């Protein structure tokens, strides 16, 4: 077991309340430490998650990068803020991923992937994803110039993972795990609607099937599903919301690999489940909060 870093979004929170945080989770001791409480007031408070909370996480040497809705933050391992970076085409960011000397961010509001140059500390790459007549198209654009993609959120892009084979992109409405090789965009595997965190894993793919309340591992030979944890309703707080679209139990989001056969997945109220794909068992649960609105967003192995 190891230590994880998790970010959360408090869905349906009100101005003046905390709307997210950052946690370090020692899986062996099942001990959680909140290292940041996000309570900024200068955000858009409409809707469910919107601008609330903190999102994707990745690292570069001794720097911790965390995405917010429309801003990329840089912290030290002690969570002292080093800097922040915005872009007109960054909105409703979900996951982020470092590959070589770029950090890639999903800009959900613009159906786009943005690239941040880690050495020059500026946004230097833009890729607009569109679907027309069943065909996906990737169109590069300059994130520092006018004339980029419109604000639409058609595909709800929420995941980007880079490997030597290409950039894997998916969202709640893509219906596929897409792969971009620098020239063309194609479908690497089919996906149901309503997923988060889809990525290659072993000989197949793994993802949060958020709409079906489970985590799925699918290979050409077999597939398995792990139910998202549920807790006794009387043990939870802030359960008086009358709209399940704002906050509900078992909303699965956030996923990282721990080993060749083990993954960790997040859900609401903020809970981390460790799944052993070899034994097909959920081997550990760690609950961070009993607030129904508090949902895991980003999840990574803590390297420091």
* Contact in structure between 66 and 56 (CB atoms under 8 Å): yes
Q: Which two tokens mark 122? A: 């500026």
pLDDT at 257 over 70: yes
Q: What is the pLDDT of residues 77-134, one digit of tens each?
A: 999 999 999 999 999 999 999 999 999 999 999 999 999 999 999 999 999 999 988 7
Q: Which one of 1.20.120.550, 2.30.30.280, 1.10.287.90, 2.130.10.10 gives the CATH number of domain 3-301? A: 2.130.10.10
The confidence score (pLDDT) of residue 229 equals 95
Q: How confident is the model at residue 53 (pLDDT cuts 50, 70, 90)?
A: low
The confidence score (pLDDT) of residue 49 equals 41
pTM over 0.75: yes
Q: Of 154, 72, 176, which is closest to residue 114 (Cα–Cα)? A: 72
The confidence score (pLDDT) of residue 277 equals 93
Give the residue extent of every domain in the chain: 3-301
What's the 3-state SS for 198-267? Answer: EEEECCEEEEEEHHHCEEEEECCCCEEEEECCCCCHHHCECCCCCCCCCCCCCCCCCEEEEECCEEEEEE
Phi, psi (deg, nearest 5) at residue 6: -130, 140
Q: How confident is the model at residue 148 (pLDDT cuts 50, 70, 90)?
A: very high
The confidence score (pLDDT) of residue 20 equals 78
Strand order in the sheet with 281-287: 255-259, 262-267, 271-276, 281-287
CA angle centred on 79, ends 117 and 107, rounded to 5°: 40
* Contact in structure between 298 and 66 (CB atoms under 8 Å): yes
pLDDT at 181 over 90: yes
Q: What is the pLDDT of residues 157-176, one digit of tens each?
A: 999 999 999 999 999 999 99
């Amino acid at each position: 077991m190891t230590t994880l870093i998790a970010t959360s979004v408090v869905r349906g929170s009100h101005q003046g309340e905390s709307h997210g945080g950052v946690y370090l989770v020692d899986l062996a001791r099942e001990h959680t430490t909140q290292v940041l409480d996000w309570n900024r007031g200068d955000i858009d408070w409409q809707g469910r998650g919107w601008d609330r909370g903190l999102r994707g996480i990745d690292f570069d040497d001794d720097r911790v990068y965390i995405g917010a809705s429309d801003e990329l933050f840089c912290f030290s391992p002690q969570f002292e803020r080093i800097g922040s970076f915005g872009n007109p085409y960054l909105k409703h960011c979900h996951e982020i991923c470092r590959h070589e000397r770029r950090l890639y961010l999903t800009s959900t509001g613009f159906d786009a992937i943005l690239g941040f140059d880690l050495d020059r500390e500026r946004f230097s790459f833009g890729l607009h994803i569109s679907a027309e007549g069943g065909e996906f198209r990737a169109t590069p654009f300059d994130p520092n110039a006018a004339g980029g993609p419109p604000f639409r959120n058609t595909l709800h892009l929420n995941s980007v993972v880079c490997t030597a084979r290409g950039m894997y992109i998916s969202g709640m409405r893509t219906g596929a795990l897409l792969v971009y090789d620098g020239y063309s965009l194609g479908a690497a595997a089919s996906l149901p609607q309503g997923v988060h965190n889809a990525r290659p894993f072993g000989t197949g793919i793994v993802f949060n099937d958020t709409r079906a309340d489970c985590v799925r591992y699918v290979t050409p030979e077999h597939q398995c599903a792990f139910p998202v944890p549920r807790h006794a309703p009387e043990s939870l707080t802030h359960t008086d919301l009358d709209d399940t679209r704002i906050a509900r139990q078992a909303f699965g989001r956030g996923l990282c690999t721990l080993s060749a056969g083990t993954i960790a997945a997040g859900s609401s109220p903020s809970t981390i489940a460790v799944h052993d794909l070899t034994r097909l068992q959920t081997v550990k649960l760690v609950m961070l909060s009993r607030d129904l609105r508090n949902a895991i967003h980003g999840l990574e192995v803590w390297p420091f």
